[in-house]
Amino acid sequence: MTINLTKYGLTTAVETTSLKEDGQMLGRVISQHRDLYQVITATGERQARVTGKLAHAATSPTAFPAVGDWVQVCPTADDQAQIEAIRPRQSVLARGAVNQHDGQIIATNINTIFICMSLNADFNVRRVERYLTIAWDSGALPVIILTKADVCTDLAAKLRAVADVSVGVSTITCSAETGQGLDDLQPYLTTGQTVAFVGSSGVGKSTLINRLLGQDVLTTKTIREDDDKGRHTTTSRQLIPLPTGACVIDTPGMRELQIFVGDLDQTFAEIATLSAQCKFNDCTHTSEPGCAVRAAVEAGTVTVERLQSYQKLQREMSYQGLNSRQLEQAKIQRMFGGKQAMKRVKQRYHRD
Ligand SMILES: Nc1nc2c(ncn2[C@@H]2O[C@H](COP(=O)(O)OP(=O)(O)OP(=O)(O)O)[C@@H](O)[C@H]2O)c(=O)[nH]1
Ligand SMILES: [Zn+2]
């Protein structure tokens, strides 16, 4: 069996940077159950575990493979393999307290994160801010998907509300019901691209993915509710190729992101800019004198709700007890697996 790995997101960039060591082949992790990985290679799917050497050298859970990783494997039997090394990650979506020693990677090497929010009851711009903060930190490009347009009666107002909190981010309005807007997703779904859908339960992620797949691969709410409990156990979520040439990662934990480490400065760019004018460097914009952010709130250029949202997310982030330098280190660790790996990634970028 020969598999065209292009369908699984293989690009020439990944291919040319992969080490060609004797007997090793390139593969991508498409699903994971504890320490057992399903890896797609040019000769088919293989069940794989990491080598003792990789496990021994690992100093944090982030050093272990995750769904989306490109890995070098050694085939051991027809459908078995050992994972010898992980290729440098281009983006990392993680959750939990991510520092040098723990934290959990949900998925890697995602190009686009579709932040899904429905245009009915679920609509909440504060949630968009939260998801954007996480997405910007991952290294993937966030795109906002407003779902269920067919049941929305005040679209213009909702679009304005979203635009206010998402400067520089594309927003796509769509409906899986009528097919509206699905074409607008296509530019993100070309060959070599890996995408992920995040958002609250019930906003229509599975329905959308099924539409893109052209068949009902994922179980959606309607079906689940009508079912006898447990008859259809949830399909194991994984990396799935789409007919458009892209692939979608849909893993547990991917959909509801509860993190917190994120990139607030990107999501709240105007607040970050204003902070520079606060009298105190470490102004928390609560009661300090000379606070430029509160002045902007009073002047009406920043809403109270937005400042509160910023402060809430900031509290969640510092709750983990990391200072900014530690946060930066944690980020390097998460993105690149450590300083050494980051150096290698940087050298590679400079060569290109
Ligand atoms: N009116 C309308 N309903 C939709 C649309 N897309 C999905 N739905 C319905 O919304 C419900 C939830 O859809 P799902 O696709 O299961 O939602 P999900 O985001 O995958 O939910 P989780 O799997 O829990 O994360 C289902 O009853 C769908 O039929 C749409 O475009 N318009
Ligand atoms: Zn301030």
Taken in order of first residue, the domains within the chain and their CATH numbers are 1-87 (2.40.50.140), 108-249 (3.40.50.300), 264-319 (1.10.40.50)
- Which of 165, 189, 190, 98 has the alpha carbon at shortest distance from 138? 98
Q: What is the pLDDT of residues 150-198, one digit of tens each?
A: 999 999 999 999 999 998 899 999 999 999 999 999 999 999 999 999 8
**What residues of the chain score a pLDDT lower than 50?**
97-101, 223-235, 319, 352
- Give the closest ligand to the alpha carbon of residue 237: 1
| Contact yes or no for 173/149 (Cβ under 8 A) | yes
Residue nearest to atom 15 of ligand 1 (CA): 204
Burial (CB < 10 A; 0-12, 13-18, 19+), residue 197, is buried
Query: Which atom, in ligand 1's list, is nearest to the CA of 256?
Result: 25
Query: Which atom, in ligand 1's list, is nearest to the CA of 219?
Result: 16
CA of 219 to the centre of ligand 2 (A): 47
pLDDT given at position 313: 80
Is position 116 annotated in a ligand binding site? Answer: no
Strand-strand pairing, 104-108 and 92-95: antiparallel
pLDDT given at position 234: 41
> What contacts 349, CB < 8 A, 6 or more positions away?
none
Q: Is the CB of 267 under 6 A from ligand 1?
A: no
| Contact yes or no for 73/46 (Cβ under 8 A) | yes
CA of 127 to the centre of ligand 2 (A): 23
| Contact yes or no for 107/257 (Cβ under 8 A) | no
Is position 247 annotated in a ligand binding site? Answer: no
Is position 153 annotated in a ligand binding site? Answer: no
pLDDT given at position 322: 53
pLDDT given at position 228: 40
Q: Is the CB of 118 under 6 A from ligand 1?
A: no
Q: What is the pLDDT of residues 278-311, one digit of tens each?
A: 998 888 898 899 999 999 999 999 999 999 888 8
pLDDT given at position 326: 61
**Probe ligand 1: pick from 117, 185, 220, max atoms within 8 Å of CB?**
220
DSSP 154-208: -HHHHHHHHHHH-TT--EEE--TTT-TTGGGGGGGSSTT-EEEEE--TTSSHHHH
Q: Is the CB of 121 under 6 A from ligand 1?
A: no
CA of 32 to the centre of ligand 1 (A): 26
Is position 309 annotated in a ligand binding site? Answer: no
pLDDT given at position 224: 45
Indicate the SS3 state at residue 71: strand
pLDDT given at position 344: 59
CA of 343 to the centre of ligand 1 (A): 43
